[in-house]
Amino acid sequence: MTGRKKLRNNVRVKLELKKREESVRKNETNPFELKRNKIKHQILGRKIAKNELGKPLLNRSRAYQKRSQTLLEEYRNKHKGGKGVQDFRTAGKEDRVISKYKESQEKINFNRGEHIELTHKGKPLEDFIDDRLSSDDEDIDIFNRDDFVERTHFGGGVDGAPRSSREVLQDIMSEKHKIKMEKEEAIQLTEKLDTQWTELKSLLKHKGGRDSHHKSENRDDYDTLLSQLMFEGKKSTTQENSTHSDKVTEVDKSKTELSVDGQFREKLEMIGSTNDIEIVMKLLKEAVALLPNVTRKSFDLLKERLLNLTKLSNIRLTPKELSIFVCCSYYKQLQTVLHLLVTKTINRLKYSNFLDVAVALFLLNILLHTVEEGKLYPEMFINVHNLVRLCMPDERVQLTRFNRLQYETESILSVRFYADIENISMSEQYRVNPSSLFSNIFRSTTQPLDQKLVSYSLSIQVIQLVIALFDKYSKMTIIGQLMALIDRDISVLSKIEHVPDEMKSLLKKYNERFVTKPSSMIINRILPKPIIMPMLEPKFDETSGRKCKDNPRLLTRKFKREMKGAQREIRKDASFLRDTYLKEVNKKDRARKQKVNEILRDLSVQQGLYKKK
């Protein structure tokens, strides 16, 4: 029964889905099926005519469907009398009355003499009427006892007084609490069983198959004694050496099998679980060294983890994410997704502290070294320009986001911090790399000298990044437009007198490379928007108000239009009936022709048999 119900439900669901699809298909309009009559002049106050937008194909299909429901039924029932249809055209009035009386008598229910049983919830009321309780002592009337009368008449019935809503809610809450406690107890028991499963598994004995069981039944006392007194022969030294060498080779094989994909996966998992910087860097180098030998499995693993990072709204640069970034940069198939992730992360930086600047430098270097020469990312140039702006001598500078919105922040890499210091040089301790990012060096700079050294080291790396960016895209003709804003700020920095020698040399190096600015010409010149001309005086339809109903000219026009429409519909009805008649005739002709061919075929067979005789 359950199978039939499921089948019916599936059929019902399919029919409902089909109806929905048909209704959606009916409501959809194909733009190629519309007919538009464009009005030459838009007149104010004029109503939209019916003939401006038409749906000829849809109207034609609806008309055919309507004719098939009306004209086609009349045409098919033209010379027919169906079941239950009687022709009373020639009959008299008495025959018609008698037939109607017979039909009404057939509909009358003659089961009035049966006994009607009153029921309650599908059960007869007689079952609810209980007899008096039987008692051993007939003299004692149970229903007239004081305790029964007090309980039933004055105590709220046999079930007691009606309970309040508070009591009902308490019962519901207690039941829910009971179910919850049972569930937690079951979970604890399953966890306890999982932890103790290894101990229980060792206690279980394998019974073996049916064959072994039958064999043990047929064993004699001699066989049991022999199995108890089993002695192994002493192995020779050659056999022991061979087995030892086989074990060593098996261990080496397992190690080599793990070294391809298993070790790579293991290293990634260890990077995500450890917090020690030295171990993380060591594991990352080992994982990168394994990349040339890995198979498709490791590539799919990296791809899956990279796609999981794209689903996150905010990406934190942890050792796990950094290892994925570094490993994915070696595969060209994953570089596009990697670049999108890097740009998404850079656009979220606010450059409010040294750590944001270090992260931006690291990610921009990854993007610069992995992107191809022909590809351009606007986020890269915008963020490099923001880093250069942080080196300006002003106290606060304006930075630009990717959405072209500007915001003001403190210039933490300003030249005025280290302009007075003569013997300052870049510290390798503050060079941006994975170890410096995760060691919290850029957060623990509390002393003023440390802040100056950090800002100077980061500003040197910013200028080095600008030089690398120019070298990357120096062959492109639009390098002048791309580096225009960056070049303007660097020219301001190069004009400052009190600047350390190392920075001066880098700025001079950049200016020497950027001397010959390649000329570029924009082919598609952006033209200004045309000026909207003032509108002319609008035209008003004078006859759009009340029209004279007695105007004979309008009445004759309306009559002619309706007459044409009626004639058109009559012609369409006639063509529809003619097409259906021709289809039926062709169908009958084909059937008749097929029968004639079969008869001729049978006659030819009989003629051949007759000639043989």
- Among 101, 74, 103, 98, which residue's Cα sits nearest to residue 88? 98
Alpha carbon of residue 324 to chain centroid? 24
> What integer pLDDT is reported at residue 35 of this predicted model?
80
Rounded CA gap, 591 and 92, in Å?
43
Residue at token pair 């009427």? 129
Rounded CA gap, 90 and 108, in Å?
29
As to burial, measured by CB atoms within 10 angstroms (0-12 exposed, 13-18 middle, 19+ buried), residue 388 is: buried
Q: How confident is the model over 122-133, as pLDDT tens digits?
A: 777 776 655 444
Rounded CA gap, 148 and 164, in Å?
24
Q: How confident is the model over 510-552, as pLDDT tens digits?
A: 888 776 544 545 455 566 776 766 655 555 445 545 555 567 8
Alpha carbon of residue 46 to chain centroid? 48
Which stretches of 28-92 are DSSP H helices? 56-76
Residue type at 79 in one-letter notation: H
Helices (H) and strands (E) in the chain, counts: 22, 6
Question: Is residue 393 within 8 Å of residue 413, measured between CB atoms?
Answer: no
Q: How confident is the model over 231-245, as pLDDT tens digits?
A: 444 445 455 555 555
Question: Angle 5-11-17 (CA atoms, 0-180°, nearest 5)?
Answer: 135
Which secondary structure element, helix H or strand E, spans residue 102, and what is its range? helix 93-107
Which stretches of 427-530 are DSSP H helices? 434-438, 448-472, 479-482, 484-494, 501-513
Residue segments in the chain with a per-residue pLDDT below the cut of 50: 131-135, 211-215, 231-235, 237, 248, 251, 253, 255-256, 445-446, 449, 517-518, 520, 522, 540-541, 544
Long-range contacts (CB closer than 8 Å, 24 or more residues apart) made by 469-478: 469/368, 469/380, 469/381, 469/384, 470/510, 470/513, 470/514, 471/513, 472/368, 472/373, 473/373, 473/376, 474/513, 475/373, 477/518, 477/519, 477/520, 478/520
Question: Is residue 426 within 8 Å of residue 502, measured between CB atoms?
Answer: yes
Q: SS in 3 state form for 178-238? A: HHHHHHHHHHHHHHHHHHCHHHHHHHCCCCCCHHHHHHHHCCCHHHHHHHHCCCCCCCCHH
Phi/psi class of residue 312: alpha, beta or left (left: φ > 0; alpha: ψ in -120 to 50)?
beta
Rg (CA), the chain: 48
Query: What's the DSSP call for residue 126?
Result: G
> What integer pLDDT is reported at residue 582 of this predicted model?
93
Report strand pairing: 123-124 vs 396-400: unpaired
Q: What predicted TM-score, i.e. pTM, was given to this entire model?
A: 0.44
Q: How confident is the model over 576-586, as pLDDT tens digits?
A: 999 999 999 99
Rounded CA gap, 272 and 146, in Å?
80
> What integer pLDDT is reported at residue 213 of this predicted model?
47
Rounded CA gap, 302 and 233, in Å?
53
Phi, psi of 323 (to 5 degrees): -65, -35
> What integer pLDDT is reported at residue 594 of this predicted model?
92
> What percentage of the chain carries pLDDT values higher than 70?
72
Question: Is residue 460 within 8 Å of residue 506, measured between CB atoms?
Answer: yes
> What integer pLDDT is reported at residue 101 of this predicted model?
81
Determine the 3-state secondary structure of 536 from DSSP. Answer: coil
> What percentage of the chain carries pLDDT values higher than 90?
6
CA separation (Å) from 538 to 43, 46, 100, 113? Answer: 7, 12, 71, 85
Which stretches of 233-353 are DSSP H helices? 237-257, 263-273, 277-290, 296-310, 319-328, 335-347
> What integer pLDDT is reported at residue 375 of this predicted model?
79
- Among 432, 540, 388, 475, which residue's Cα sits nearest to residue 45? 540
